[in-house]
Amino acid sequence: MSSQTNRDFVTSGFMFVVGIIAFILTFSFKSFEGTNFGVGVEFMPRVIAALILLTSVIIFVNALKSRSKKTNDTNLEAEEVVEQETESKNYKKLVISIIAMLIYILLTPILGFLIATALFLIAQMLIISNFAKEKIVLFLIISILMAVVVNYVFRNVFYVMLPQGILG
């Protein structure tokens, strides 16, 4: 089975669940008398939820069809297994990146934009460059410089009040 077909199964299943939850939630919406001509607040969400259910079923059926077509083609399968393996090795970098971004966002109000940004930039440059340690001095200089410049320009030139945290 191809990885894309697998993903289509996951997509359709996930969106089916989302559609059901959304549909059930619409029953808790209340319309006010007087503004409710023909349809109320629950009408559109219910229609959209129903359509999401319908499209997820269509994607599921399409995925089933493409699976039954491909089962005989072993060459294709082998290729896709290789593709899947090389892909899976990279997910580590992705997960670390997302965690770094999340920590950055959580720390920004506490440490302030300047410090949090400098720390994040160094970390993220290391992550994306596959931990090119020989470049750490370069990353350090660029990160601190960029954090200072962005913080100064947005606060003092464009008047965007970035969080100052412990410095404020």
* Residue 85 in the binding site for other proteins (CB under 8 A): no
Closer of 73 and 79 to other proteins (Cβ): 73
For residues 127 and 116, what is the distance between their CA atoms, to the nearest angstrom? 16
| Residue of 17, 24, 58, 81 that binds other proteins (CB under 8 A) | 58
Closer of 81 and 148 to other proteins (Cβ): 148
* Residue 4 in the binding site for other proteins (CB under 8 A): yes
- What distances in angstroms separate CA 136 from CA 96, 125, 128, 148, one per listed residue? 18, 9, 13, 18
* Residue 37 in the binding site for other proteins (CB under 8 A): yes
Burial of 9 (0-12, 13-18, 19+ CB in 10 A): middle
* Residue 71 in the binding site for other proteins (CB under 8 A): no
Q: Pattern of binders to other proteins over 138-167, x per CB under 8 A? A: -x--xx--xx--x---x---xxxxxx----
For residues 163 and 159, what is the distance between their CA atoms, to the nearest angstrom? 12
